[in-house]
Chain A
């Protein structure tokens, strides 16, 4: 058995990742699954989270938001609604989104808020900041710490 498989992350707008990888951690709806080459075929709905994958000794990650994933023995296709590499994340925008979402949760009796949407927005912003922080953007680091205190 080959020790790599092809990881493809595609969104309607473009192809984000297409690489031979050794290992991947994929955020599905119920949590994370780890995939190694030769994994049993699997079909699942994606959650919102950080998709990490290993190429040789390099650990890489990107965000993955919604969609579906199909795992085959030699190939993993992630059909995400949105996905971006760490370097592509707009940190100030994600931070603004996080603040907006947190403000909504600060007032839990507000009847005008669509809580599912607010929750999804909060998760998206957190994941983006988390991935950006891991990639070493210092401003993003600050943002995550700040949000941890609030």
Chain B
């Protein structure tokens, strides 16, 4: 039978935990707000560059001369997996990693290489058989365009050197505070149909008049512009992945800490009830002792 003191100790310990989870919830909420702003303010640019790229692609005469458009037989696949930086955010990391492992197993007959984004993904892949060709950590807490450029440069280099025939991104997309969507996206080679499709899904996208196949005037050779547009696009897609992951991670942590805080309240309530019962039992016992002592003395 636990004594009154045991209960007090346990309640105090749960309260301390609750304070920590509550603080973490507030921190996550504050970071979420910033991350969400980044993700949202990125959208006009991201949809703009998609649109420009899609219409530039439709006007290119000989697509096979551009590596970004030529689809080679898919023998070597580069997979970029973005997880969260830390734990204590529910199933956030587990979900994205499980999806990544699934994807890699499904393509087990190909030559696979992985770039890991953030600590959790790095740690998980170090224990697995797949070849890691790039590791980036301390990156999703706050999405940074410079870092995105670095990763994009590495991805483009591998793709253009023929070390990868296609590039996929696997990450959590921020849907709302309660839910994340797992995304598996093909980054390269570029697929016009997919570009137009994702444009349609984007509710932010204004009505576009790119559909009519008017000839462009180019201030510079088309190929030159296209070759500059593609790296920029890849950079933006990676930046978007970082921004989405960041927002989703903070949202997941906020939700997880919210429920941890309320669970702690439940535990405290239950413990307090027990404690009061024990206290009352002790008082009753003392009264009985006093009464029976008085009776025997009398």
Contacts and interface: CB of A to CB of B under 8 A. Distances in A.
B182 interface: no
A14 interface: yes
Interface in B108-126: none
A12 B48 contact: no
A13 B41 CA distance: 6
A76 B158 CA distance: 34
B210 interface: yes
B41 A43 contact: no
Interface string B12-33: 0000000000000000000000
Contacts of B224: 45
A102 interface: no
Interface residues of B, number: 30
B215 interface: yes
Given A8-B44, A68-B225, A70-B55, A79 B49 contact: yes
B209 interface: yes
A30 interface: yes
Interface string A78-99: 0100000000000000000000
B51 to A, nearest CB: 7
Interface of B: 41-42, 44-45, 48-49, 51-52, 55-56, 145, 206, 208-210, 214-220, 222, 224-225, 228-229, 232, 236, 239
Shortest 10 CB-CB contacts between residues of A and residues of B: A44-B219, A14-B41, A10-B45, A15-B44, A10-B44, A42-B217, A70-B52, A41-B214, A77-B48, A41-B216
